């Protein structure tokens, strides 16, 4: 691991969840990580690479039910690759989605909690291994320990629909702010009290959904921090066509939001989007692009486009850092190899 990612802590210190949202939560964490934070990479697509069949409305959340060992394995692979933040397998885990599969409300809630438990367990296993490996190098009871946060993933309403609308942002007129708030309320409450360090609202495709999350965080008095991450397919707007500036403004006005940025977007759009985001907010900027391939919601396949492949975008990380981002990872079709490349690129810079 790059030295930029290692800080001195005592052996007894663990990364613990915050109980109150703090405006300095993320800047403190970035400081602890040496100025740059490594986020993990594609989770669902990595489960598939390990043989999981995710052709299901629950997508990666299906593995919470039938292969939790694989979920733990992928978290550990990203920790081994250098991640400072791991995202749980709850992206497409919703109470409504589990109920549609025949689970009770209680079972559905337990599965949401389980996504966080597995990620926390992976962090403990990783730390235990590091402690054992570095036993000979400990001095005065002190050892180096990489700061690691567990982020509870919340995918968009479009992800739950599993019809590709997370990439169109078009929910139709019947879906209102209240619909979206009601849909997410219980899920967000459960994840906020699950032991996760923060909530990652991912792949937000439109302004309405950003507004719903912001209002929900306020109304429910959610006490752990959150990040808002949008997706774009033109480098100017979020996928629905809503201007990125308006979406980021919503995140900027929400006190629980500690970072804002872009995920599951082709690498070629990232630089311009960072510049647009910086104009609207001084909150830390996160980016975790996909491999540059495009998801076909009809065939449920990733298809090659003229974008960059994952090996390529690692070479842009330093430029994206200069443009003002400070948290970097990968989304769909990126792998632990991508994340190792990012960690190396950032530590070489320091």
DSSP-derived letter for residue 193 is T
- Find the angle CA(4)-CA(38)-CA(303) to the nearest 5 degrees: 140
- Return the closest-CA partner of residue 252 out of 210, 201, 208, 203: 210
Q: How far is the CB of 42 from ligand MET (least distance, A)?
A: 5
DSSP-derived letter for residue 144 is E
Q: How far is the CB of 215 from ligand MET (least distance, A)?
A: 23
Q: How many residues bind Zn ion (CB under 5 A)?
A: 3
Q: Which residues 6+ apart lie within 8 Å of 283 measured at CB?
A: 26, 251, 252, 257, 258, 259, 260
CA–CA separation, 250 and 204 (whole Å):
12
Q: How far is the CB of 186 from ligand MET (least distance, A)?
A: 21
Q: Return the one option of Zn ion, ligand MET, none that residue 267 interacts with (CB less than 5 to 8 A, by type).
A: none
- Return the closest-CA partner of residue 78 out of 23, 29, 151: 151
What is the DSSP track for 48-64? HHTT----STTGGGHHH
> In this chain, which stretch among 75-83, 104-112, 215-223, 262-270 interacts with Zn ion, using CB under 5 A?
262-270
Q: Return the one option of ligand MET, Zn ion, none that residue 60 interacts with (CB less than 5 to 8 A, by type).
A: ligand MET
Q: Return the one option of ligand MET, Zn ion, none that residue 94 interacts with (CB less than 5 to 8 A, by type).
A: none
> Counting contacts by CB under 5 A, is residue 331 touching Zn ion?
yes
Q: Return the one option of Zn ion, ligand MET, none that residue 143 interacts with (CB less than 5 to 8 A, by type).
A: none
- Return the closest-CA partner of residue 325 out of 294, 288, 298: 288
Q: Return the one option of ligand MET, Zn ion, none that residue 44 interacts with (CB less than 5 to 8 A, by type).
A: ligand MET
DSSP-derived letter for residue 46 is H
β-strands 142-145, 7-10: how paired? antiparallel
Residue reference for tokens 């480098």: 235
Cα distances from 307 to residues 265, 293, 348, in angstroms, run: 10, 7, 26
> Counting contacts by CB under 5 A, is residue 87 touching Zn ion?
no
Q: Return the one option of Zn ion, ligand MET, none that residue 147 interacts with (CB less than 5 to 8 A, by type).
A: none
- Return the closest-CA partner of residue 159 out of 218, 129, 201: 201
> Counting contacts by CB under 5 A, is residue 332 touching Zn ion?
yes
CA–CA separation, 91 and 109 (whole Å):
14
> Counting contacts by CB under 5 A, is residue 264 touching Zn ion?
yes
CA–CA separation, 214 and 253 (whole Å):
9
Q: Return the one option of ligand MET, Zn ion, none that residue 91 interacts with (CB less than 5 to 8 A, by type).
A: ligand MET
CA–CA separation, 162 and 300 (whole Å):
9
> Counting contacts by CB under 5 A, is residue 287 touching Zn ion?
no
> Counting contacts by CB under 5 A, is residue 339 touching Zn ion?
no
* Ligand-binding site membership of 264 (annotated): yes
- Return the closest-CA partner of residue 298 out of 100, 155, 160, 162: 162
> In this chain, which stretch among 30-38, 55-63, 267-275, 323-331 interacts with Zn ion, using CB under 5 A?
323-331
CB nearer to Zn ion: pick between 117 and 310: 310
* Ligand-binding site membership of 120 (annotated): no
Q: How far is the CB of 134 from ligand MET (least distance, A)?
A: 30
Positions in the binding site for ligand MET (CB under 6 A): 42-44, 60, 87, 91, 153, 202-203, 264, 331-332
> Counting contacts by CB under 5 A, is residue 212 touching Zn ion?
no
Three-state SS at 241? coil
* Ligand-binding site membership of 331 (annotated): yes
Q: How far is the CB of 60 from ligand MET (least distance, A)?
A: 5
Q: How far is the CB of 150 from ligand MET (least distance, A)?
A: 13
Task: Catalog residues that contact Zn ion under the rule CB under 5 A.
Answer: 264, 331-332
Query: Which residue positions form the known binding site for Zn(2+)?
Result: 264, 331-332
Query: Which residue positions form the known binding site?
Result: 264, 331-332
């Amino acid at each position: 691991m790059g030295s930029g990612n290692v800080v001195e802590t005592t052996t007894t210190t663990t990364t613990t969840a915050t109980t109150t949202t703090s405006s300095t939560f993320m800047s403190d964490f970035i400081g602890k990580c040496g100025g740059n934070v490594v986020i993990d990479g594609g989770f669902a697509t990595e489960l598939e690479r390990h043989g999981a069949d995710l052709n299901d409305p629950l997508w990666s959340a299906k593995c919470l039910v039938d292969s939790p060992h694989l979920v733990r394995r992928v978290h550990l692979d990203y920790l081994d690759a250098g991640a400072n933040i791991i995202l749980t397998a709850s992206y497409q885990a919703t109470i409504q989605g589990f109920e549609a599969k025949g689970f009770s409300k209680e079972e559905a809630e337990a599965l949401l909690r389980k996504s966080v438990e597995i990620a926390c367990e992976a962090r403990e296993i990783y730390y235990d291994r590091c402690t054992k490996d570095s036993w000979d190098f400990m001095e005065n009871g002190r050892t180096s320990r990489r700061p690691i946060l567990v982020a509870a993933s919340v995918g968009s309403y479009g992800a739950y629909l599993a019809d590709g609308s997370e990439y169109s942002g078009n929910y139709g007129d019947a879906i209102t702010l209240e619909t979206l708030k009601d849909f997410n309320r219980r899920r967000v409450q459960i994840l906020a009290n699950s032991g996760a360090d923060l909530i990652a609202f991912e792949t937000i495709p439109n302004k309405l959904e950003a507004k719903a999350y912001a209002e929900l965080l306020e109304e429910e008095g959610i006490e752990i921090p959150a990040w808002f991450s949008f997706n774009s397919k033109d480098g100017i707007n979020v996928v629905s066509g809503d201007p990125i500036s308006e979406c980021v403004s919503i995140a900027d006005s929400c006190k629980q939001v500690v970072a804002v940025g872009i995920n599951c977007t082709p690498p070629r759009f990232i630089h311009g989007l960072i510049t647009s985001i910086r104009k609207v907010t001084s909150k830390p900027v996160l980016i975790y692009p996909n491999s540059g391939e495009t998801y076909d919601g009809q065939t449920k396949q990733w298809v090659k486009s003229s974008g960059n492949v994952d090996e390529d975008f690692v070479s842009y990380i330093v430029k994206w850092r200069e443009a003002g981002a400070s948290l970097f990872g990968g989304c769909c079709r990126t792998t632990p190899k991508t994340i190792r490349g990012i960690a190396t690129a950032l530590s070489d810079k320091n």
